């Protein structure tokens, strides 16, 4: 892998995994609504290869993206995987024939999901598997249910050697603590961005424990993060709101790892370059108090 930018510096995820803080999220490589094949197969392959060429060594995915299509694209584009490339996936949900998101957290469903990820990625063991807590009322909001049973299943698969490390996604502090009584948690994936800061305290708590926090929808996802303050700061720095929003996340806490997704080479380069943008103290102060 070539390294052309700082990519936000490095973070030691585990004793055996160190990643650059700017990674790549493969969710958008599937078709509309993260369902079906990509609109442009060759462009999807090119995005993955360019990300790795530029030094990205942390790719986030799931076999329920597509389903199956995204992982198969990753394998087609990058296998055999270069040394130092780490692929992180998630289980706990599935898609029906219409593309709806459904919970899939039974023991059999979780085992099948892990094996599907292994097969479609061409791996013998997955670096990190996140358990995605599913809330049927709001897919981006945590629920209050116990995660002991499904997380125990994943811990058993870890003991079997199919998973190296475990994480948790869309989880509360209580669920994270519950998971930690079962097996070590190396990362947490929750929705967080400059306009949605409900996890401020959790980020700091995890940082004190050396646990990575990986915000999904760092640029808002289906909700706009645009604000007058963000626009004004970007204009003053001769930058873009997107770059400033990503740079703000990297400066928010050293345990934050970014996985912005895109199906555009132009946007990929813009996202990676934002890791080199250092926001001055006055800009940070404005952004920190803008919500």
Residue 221 is predicted with a pLDDT of 77
Give the integer Cα–Cα distance in Å for 246 and 229: 15
For the chain, give every domain's residue range.
Answer: 10-288
Residue 16 is predicted with a pLDDT of 97
User: How many angstroms separate the Cα of 179 from the Cα of each of 214, 238, 268?
Assistant: 17, 44, 34
Structure tokens at 165: 């490390």
Closest CA to 196 of 217, 169, 174, 211: 217
Catalytic residue among 20, 24, 65, 216: 65
Q: Give catalytic status of residue 69 as yes or no.
A: no
Residue 195 CB neighbour total at 10 angstroms: 17
The pTM assigned to this predicted structure is: 0.95
Closest CA to 284 of 238, 243, 252: 252
- Cβ atoms of 167 and 129 within 8 Å: the answer is yes
Topology classification of domain 10-288: TIM Barrel (3.20.20)
Structure tokens at 279: 């926001």
pLDDT string in tens for the chain (291-residue length): 444 568 999 999 999 999 999 999 999 999 999 999 999 999 999 999 999 999 999 999 999 999 999 999 999 999 999 999 999 999 999 999 999 999 999 999 999 999 999 999 999 999 999 999 987 555 566 778 999 999 999 999 999 999 999 999 999 999 999 999 999 999 999 999 999 999 999 999 999 999 999 999 998 876 778 889 999 999 999 999 999 999 999 999 999 999 999 999 999 999 999 999 999 999 999 999 876
């Amino acid at each position: 892998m070539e390294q052309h930018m700082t990519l936000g510096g490095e973070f030691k995820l585990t004793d055996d995994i160190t990643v650059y803080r700017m990674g790549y999220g493969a969710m958008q490589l599937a078709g509309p609504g993260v369902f079906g094949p990509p609109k442009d197969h060759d462009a999807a392959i090119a995005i993955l290869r360019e990300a790795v060429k530029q030094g990205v060594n942390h790719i986030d995915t799931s076999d329920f993206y597509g389903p199956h299509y995204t992982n198969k694209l990753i394998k087609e584009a990058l296998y055999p995987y270069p040394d130092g490339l780490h692929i992180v996936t998630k289980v706990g949900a599935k898609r029906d024939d219409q593309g709806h998101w459904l919970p899939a957290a039974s023991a059999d469903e979780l085992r099948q999901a892990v094996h599907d990820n292994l097969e479609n990625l061409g791996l013998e063991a997955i670096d990190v598997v996140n358990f995605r807590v599913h809330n049927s009322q709001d897919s981006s909001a945590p629920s209050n249910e116990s995660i002991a049973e499904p997380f125990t299943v994943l811990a058993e698969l870890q003991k079997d050697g199919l998973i190296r490390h475990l994480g948790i996604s869309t989880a509360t502090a209580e669920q994270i603590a519950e998971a930690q009584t079962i097996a070590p948690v190396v990362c947490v994936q929750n929705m967080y961005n400059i306009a949605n800061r409900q996890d401020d305290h959790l980020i700091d708590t995890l940082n004190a424990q050396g646990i990575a926090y990986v915000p999904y929808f760092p640029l808002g996802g289906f909700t706009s993060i645009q604000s007058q303050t963000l626009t004004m700061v970007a204009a003053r720095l001769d930058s873009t709101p997107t770059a400033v929003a990503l740079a703000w996340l990297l400066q928010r806490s050293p345990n934050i790892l970014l996985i912005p997704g895109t199906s555009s080479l132009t946007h990929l380069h813009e996202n990676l370059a934002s890791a080199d943008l250092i926001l001055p103290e006055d800009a940070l102060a404005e952004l920190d108090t803008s919500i």
